[in-house]
Amino acid sequence: MLRFLIVVADENSMLRALLQRLYHRNKWHDSLELGPQMHLQMMHVEGMAALRSLRGLTHVEFRHPESASQQGSIPGGFLEITVKREIMQPVGMQA
């Protein structure tokens, strides 16, 4: 059983890519910041549904792809607040 997971990700670059698409289609305004709407967009990142379906891990860490000592998630961002919490729920619990 998987108990410890290190995910190599760069949440900043994921958000940058999402914002570029939003700017292109919807004229995203900087004053809207990165609130709940951005979290909804993050759910559509490739592989996110599979990652969010994991349960019962005791330790989850997000590392930056360019530096193992750098954090790959944004403190208080979608990966830390939503994904990590879901992954660390006991097996059988749904988000």
Q: What percent of the chain has pLDDT over 70?
A: 80
Task: Please give the structure tokens belonging to residue 69.
Answer: 């000592």
SS3 61: strand
Which has more confidence, 24 or 88? 88
- The model's pLDDT over 36-52, given as tens digits with 9 standing for 90+, comes to 667 778 888 889 999 99
pLDDT confidence bin for 35, thresholds 50/70/90: low
Residue 59's pLDDT is what? 96
